[in-house]
Amino acid sequence: MQFIPIAIVGASGYSGAELISILLGHPNARIVGLFGSGKSEKAGGAAPNLADSFPRFRGLLDLPIAASEPEAIKATGARAVFLCTPHEASMELAPALVERGLVVLDLSAAFRLKDAGAYDAFYGFAHTQRGLLERAVYGMPELFRERIANAALVAVPGCYPTSAILPLAPLANAGAIRPGTRPIIDATSGASGAGRKAEQRLLFAEVSQQAYGVLKHRHQPEIDAYAGVRTVFTPHLGPYERGILATIHVELAQRWTGERARGVLTQIYAASRFVRLCPPGVWPAVNDVRGTNFCDIALASDDAAGHLVICSAIDNLTKGAAGQAVQCMNIRFGLDEATGLLAKGAGA
């Protein structure tokens, strides 16, 4: 059996912990090193143990979380490294790791956009790795499976973009969206989507349904770039732990109906293991996908008005982050892409 030695950088965050949960049950994966995001772990100091951050791993993976130095990561013998790190940390680490021959799967947004100038506008930093930005492959298996298979650096998509791009991209490519119109995306994420940080609006007694980042969210250019159409995206914080539900309004082009739109999605995703098209009249819920790598999609239309309503649901920590990253790893190393991802409630 082929074993892939794996290092995880940013192991003390939610996405890092989700990765560990999935990879511990992966028959071809072996975690050989855990590293910090670079914010709190310092070289030369005593490394905290994983169980200090997540007691549920006590006795399952008793590894220290070391400082994230490229040579130390390489020294573990890892062939693949997952970066669950802040965007700027990924931008600094990824080139050094690629140069050392590791396959890098980056869960930050550091290499998702091809336009380097967009980082200054939407992320607040200047991108200094334009060459690697061009080489990075966007890690949405359903759209870029063949490119992922040969990638040195996979830019794993964001959670909101995944929930929007999967239903929109096939329709945009097929010409189903009325020219001159912008699909409207209203999406709600559980509190874990904000990361593991102390912030008042995320406190147990404070969290509530609330819009944020209106008309300026950093995921807007990512959605537009890969959905193939300009959109209006409004994110919301939801008063629950994990999951995303997106409601998308589309104005249909002439001679398009809801049935025709459903046919396009059915055909495109017929061979995609993790996209499930709900039967007519059945609408997805975040609980239906919790702890899984599935994206559930439903749609209905007012054909007389040419208006289509789409709902999609994912778990922001699995299909929106760690699960999708493992799916990409499987493709990159020649495994069935569902390997390690079909256990019931994995990571829940």
Instruction: Report the alpha-carbon distance of residue 178 to residue 301 in Å, rounded.
Output: 14
Task: Report phi then psi at 183, rounded to 5.
Answer: -55, 140
325, 311, 157, 147: which is closest to 226 by C-alpha? 157
Token pair in block for residue 286? 């975040």
Cβ atoms within 10 Å of 117's Cβ, excluding its own: 10
**E strands in 78-219:** 80-83, 103-106, 137-138, 153-155, 184-189, 210-211
In the set 159, 295, 311, 328, the catalytic residue is 159
Determine the residue type at 173: N
* H/E stretch holding 155: strand 153-155
Give the C-alpha separation, 100 to 83, whole Å.
15
Q: Is there a contact between 272 and 331 (Cβ–Cβ < 8 Å)?
A: no
d(CA 188, CA 282): 19
The separation between the first and the last C-alpha atoms of the chain, rounded to the nearest angstrom, is 27
Give yes or no for a contact between 246 and 186, defined as CB atoms under 8 angstroms apart: yes
Q: Can you give the C-alpha Rg of the chain in angstroms?
A: 20
The question of whether 295 is a catalytic residue gets the answer: no
Tabulate helix, strand, coil % of the chain (nearest 5).
35, 20, 45
Write out the catalytic residue numbers. Answer: 159
